[in-house]
Amino acid sequence: MGRVNVSNITSSSVSLQWDQGPGDLSHYRLQVAAADWNLTVELHNLNFELNNLTAGTRYNIQVFPVKCKRDLNPQNSSFYTIPGEVENLTVTSFTETSVSLSWKKPDGNYDFFQVTAKSLLDQADPIIRDNITTEHLVFDKLIQGNNYTFIFITGVEDRTMWSQERKTLACTRPAKVTKLEAFGNSDTWLQLKWTPPDGKYMEFTVKVKHGNMSDLNATVTLLHSSKLNEVNVSGLPKGSMIKLFVSAFSNCSLQGETENITTYTAPGPISNLSLLAKDSSITANWSFDANNGSVSKFEAELFLNGLSEQNKTTEDEKKQITFENLKTATNYTVAVYAVINNLRSPNRTRSIFTLPSQPTEAKVLSRTNNSLTFVWKPPVNSSATDYNCTLSSTFWETFQTQNVSNTSCCFTNLSSGSHYSFQVYTVSDGRTSEPTGCSGQTVEDKVEISLSMMCASEQSLYCDETDVRNKVFEQLKKYINDKLNGKVVHEVQGETFQRT
């Protein structure tokens, strides 16, 4: 009894040794058998080198000691030669979670292939696919954006022999980012953030295009150095549609599927904002430059002591908004925005006081030939006690003003029989209201004025004709009326003609 020792196994050779048989032996008979091959050799020594074997093949060994032409019990063993390595190992395609591989089967025999995927980016446990008998494999359930080494070995049925390893590198594609969102949109910049994809990624790219898909030379900068998924996009056109594209990249430069959104920049600011105040209203006027982008409407907001009081919208080409029902003599601030897609432009603001309420029912209380006294009623719901009164005559080119603390004004040193315009303003904190006015006329102090005129004509007795005299008188009357125009009391009467 004994056994055959098998050593130095390769894909095509093996070393055999066996124990010496009992007694006086004539020789040994070595029988080697495989599925479709056998060999018989008579030997006188205790070892033998088998060559030209087929890789990955099971061989059964029997060594018979021969004594007196009789076979004693054989020494038995079996082994597999080392299977060959796969050839032409190729990555044919890849997705986010799989890599497709193909190869050429090795020479000789084999029973299966085993493929192991090892992550190069972390210490995760290897993933093994076993008992593969085809010459291609879709290695799935991998991590997105990861870098793998794929290790191939060829095995035999009893798993006692394995081929040398064959390796190849491959990457899965990064996954797509999610929840892409633009926020803080201004007229020339916006902020962009997203949720990073599952799996691995190295960096992100952000592409910026105009609404018509033309490229924009925008600047993309990280908002926070510790976060790769928040950026500031600046250098954008005002009031425009913007398309944003974000892709993840793996450490082997594979680009993931692109996510995109469409957003808008706010318009540029309005200009030339002006305010016109009355006692209970403020009217805002402005202009808008077409270079500041598209605009769908304008919004104006009224503030009192920093708090919003009214908000109005207009699509009117006049670019005007009026706020009404306001407090008198109060400081208000108006902010005006251009708006598109609910995005406001940078505001433009101005402040103004509403005027005090104007007095009411101004009238003449008394008059003489050289003075006029006016009275009025105070503003409704007001405790105002200061007023400014003015009196003017365009004919006499005079103007008088008075500040009073009661509801009457008396103006003296006036011309008799003359028309004067009166206006009174409420005064509060240095601001004046809209005026309330009336007119007054001093008592006439009649004076008779005689005018003499000379008529000369080449036509004899022409000036003595009644029609001529009437025409001259009417022209004189019209001339005087036009000059005085109701500003001074007057009357033009009769005429006496004397022939010379």
CATH architecture of 4-80: Sandwich (2.60)
Residue 492 in this model has a pLDDT that exceeds 90: no
Residue 404 in this model has a pLDDT that exceeds 50: yes
pTM: 0.68
Residue 496 in this model has a pLDDT that exceeds 70: no
pLDDT tens-digit profile of 32-64?
999 989 999 999 999 999 999 999 999 999 999
| Mean pLDDT across the chain | 91
Q: Tell me if domain 87-171 and domain 178-264 are identical in fold.
A: yes
Residue 491 in this model has a pLDDT that exceeds 50: yes
Q: How far is CA 355 from CA 105, 387, 403, in A?
A: 97, 13, 17
**Which CATH superfamily hosts domain 271-353?**
Immunoglobulins (2.60.40.10)
Instruction: Please state which CATH number belongs to domain 360-441.
Output: 2.60.40.10
Residue 150 in this model has a pLDDT that exceeds 90: yes
How many Cβ atoms sit within 10 Å of the Cβ of residue 120?
13
Residue 482's region, left for phi above 0, alpha for psi from -120 to 50, else beta, is: alpha
Q: Which candidate, 468, 414, 467, 473, places its Cα nearest to that of 441?
A: 414
User: Pick the residue with more confidence: 455 or 319?
Assistant: 319
pLDDT band at residue 272 using 50, 70 and 90 as cut-offs: very high
Residue 468 in this model has a pLDDT that exceeds 80: no
**Which CATH superfamily hosts domain 178-264?**
Immunoglobulins (2.60.40.10)
| pLDDT for 500 | 46
Q: How far apart are the first and last CA of the chain?
A: 186
pLDDT tens-digit profile of 83-131?
999 999 999 999 999 999 999 999 999 999 999 999 999 899 999 999 9
pLDDT, average across residues 340-350: 93
Residue 276 in this model has a pLDDT that exceeds 70: yes
| pLDDT for 338 | 94
Residue 361 in this model has a pLDDT that exceeds 60: yes
The percentage of residues in the chain with a pLDDT greater than 70, rounded to a whole number, is 97
| pLDDT for 384 | 65
Record the tokens describing residue 27, joined without a space. Answer: 């020789």
Q: Which candidate, 357, 358, 375, places its Cα nearest to that of 366?
A: 375
Alpha-carbon distance 254 to 412, whole Å?
Answer: 97
Residue 494 in this model has a pLDDT that exceeds 70: no
Residue 179 in this model has a pLDDT that exceeds 90: yes
Residue 394 in this model has a pLDDT that exceeds 90: no
pLDDT band at residue 453 using 50, 70 and 90 as cut-offs: confident
How many Cβ atoms sit within 10 Å of the Cβ of residue 162?
14
- 87-171 classified as CATH 2.60.40.10: yes
pLDDT tens-digit profile of 208-250?
999 899 999 999 998 876 778 999 999 999 999 999 999 999 9
Residue 349 in this model has a pLDDT that exceeds 60: yes
**Residues 6 or more apart from 472 whose CB is under 8 A from it?**
453, 455
Geometric angle at alpha carbon 233, from 228 and 238, rounded to 5°: 165
User: Pick the residue with more confidence: 324 or 496?
Assistant: 324
